[in-house]
Each structure stands twice: as C-alpha cells, then as structure tokens.
Amino acid sequence: MSEIVDIAMCMNRVQFIGALAAINSIVRNAEHPQEIFFHFVVGVGESPEFLQSIREYFPDPGFRYEIKEFGPNPLLEDYIRAGQAFTYATSESQVLNFSRYYLAEIYPSLRKVIYLDADLVVRADVADLFHLGSLEGHVLAAVSDGTFDSWEEYTKKDSRHLRHIESKQLTFNNGVFVTDVSKWREQGVLEKLEGWIKIHRQALEDFYFGTQSIMNLAFYRDFQQLPAAWNVQPMGWYDDIPEETIRNGKILHWAGRRKPWLADGLYKEYWIDYAVGQEPG
C-alpha cells in the first residue's frame, strides 16, 4: 500500500532558486514521486511568484503540492528586529527561517512530515528518510552535529538560563528533521519554542541568535538521532569537508553564507546538476 510522504519547506523569494533545485533533486531520486506531497511556506505576497515557478519548471509534476504564506506575529517580529545585530541573515529571511516553528498552525492537518531547508539537494529516496525517522518515542528526529560543548564560544559563561545544559549532550542541525506536528500541538512544543524566544529576547548575548539555538534548547535531550549521511553540512561555510563524506551524503546541505547559486558559492559541482530556473552566480 502506498504511503504519502509529506515534506515541508519554508523559504523567501531569494531562496526560490535553491528550493527549485531541492524539489528537482527529491523528485528525480524518489522511487515513487507521485507519493510526495510538498507543503511550501513563503513570505507574504510571494506565493504567486513561487506558484508560477513551480508551473513553469514542473509543468507535469507528478507530485502534489500546496503553498501558504507566513508573516510574523508581534512576538516574532520584535525578536527578529532585536536580534538583527547578531546575524548576517536579513529580517525577511529570518521570518521564514522561524516559520518552521509554526507548521502546526500553518498546516493544521499535517501529522508526520519531513522538514527541509531550501539550500540542499537530496541524492537518495526521500521516503527512506521518512521511514528512518520513526521518532522512537520522541517528537523529532535529526542528524547530530556535535555537542553543546561547541556552543562555548557563543554563550555567556554565567547565563542562568543555560545552567541546566550539560556540555556532552548532543545538538542537531535543524535544516533537516522528521517530526510529527500533531504531537507539537498535543505537547505544547510551540509554547516551549516561544518560551525560549521570550527568554532570549531579554538576554540576547547569552547565546547565539537564530532557529538553531532555540530548537536545540526546546528539544534538549529529546530527539532521535539519524545517520549522518542524511545531513552533510555546513557546505556553505567550510571548503574542506572530506570528499568521501560528500560522496556518501544522501542530503548535501549548504548551511552558511556561501550558497551554491551565489558567485562565491562552495561545492557548486554537486548542486548544478539539479539547478532549474535562473542561472546561478
């Protein structure tokens, strides 16, 4: 019996070129692309442009999709404005970065779903990831990217908000994860995330700004660990990632500034085969 593989992606206009390549990679490498259902989230007023791109580059898609727009609530708007001095990303990009927290509200009928950033390509059957993320009693499954020890240079040493953190505990990259958003509603996950936003808003220098830190604190010691090949990153930061690691990667993720469609992008040769639409820089 076939099973729908739900995939959520959140991006603003400047990331459309990456999202189109990601979609192309997912569909090309899926054994049953007709079982894929994309749930896209874009900025306010950006859905017509993205819909046009989908229709132009995937005229006979063979997969299902829907597009919804997201704008920040007052809490998020204030937090992003205050944190702008601590990040290189634009406020428009940050709004869509944080929109992943609100998937249960944007798409209330969703249950188990794969979340994917727009700056990646999938080189294996995404259904395998869907089944790997069995959750095992957790709400979220993701690839570990180290431990909280790596936060040391980004955190205030005497922060009372982080006293419960054990440096040996695993962290994860939140650009690729499997979750059951119905459990977010049941277990008040959004309330936890927004709780950490409120804490951080009053102490912005205590730890680094962005979706990564908030999600890792909200899911502290509470995620299923996925195999490393399902999120090889940060390919937008480091130019010395071992070739074998990249070659064996099932998802290649350009977390960082140097996206593969930009003039100074890294590892373009692994991305260009899936590019559609405008020419990369």
In a domain, 226, yes or no: yes
Contact status, residue 234 vs residue 255, Cβ threshold 8 Å:
yes
Token pair for residue 159? 């922060």
In a domain, 166, yes or no: yes
- Helix, strand and coil percent figures for the chain, each rounded to 5: 40, 20, 40
* Amino acid in position 92: E
Closest by CA to 235, choosing from 249, 223, 215, is 249
Q: Provide the domain limits for residue 189.
A: 5-274
* Amino acid in position 77: E
From first to last of its 281 residues, the chain has per-residue pLDDT tens of 468 999 999 999 999 999 999 999 999 999 999 999 999 999 999 999 999 999 999 999 999 999 999 999 999 999 999 888 777 777 788 899 999 999 999 999 999 999 999 999 999 999 999 999 888 889 999 999 999 888 775 677 678 888 888 889 999 999 999 999 999 999 999 999 999 999 988 988 888 788 999 999 999 999 999 999 999 999 999 999 999 999 999 999 999 999 999 999 999 999 999 999 766 56
Question: What is the domain-level CATH number for residue 130?
Answer: 3.90.550.10
The reported pTM is: 0.95
Contact status, residue 111 vs residue 130, Cβ threshold 8 Å:
no
In a domain, 238, yes or no: yes
CB atoms within 10 A of CB 43: 23
In a domain, 229, yes or no: yes
For 207-246, give one letter per residue: b (16+ CB within 10 A) or e. bbbbbbbbbbbbbbeebbebeeebbbbbbbeeeebeeeee
Token pair for residue 199? 């804490």
In a domain, 281, yes or no: no
Contact status, residue 235 vs residue 253, Cβ threshold 8 Å:
yes
Number of domains in the chain: 1
DSSP 227: P
In a domain, 280, yes or no: no
Which position has the token pair 């990456």?
A: 18
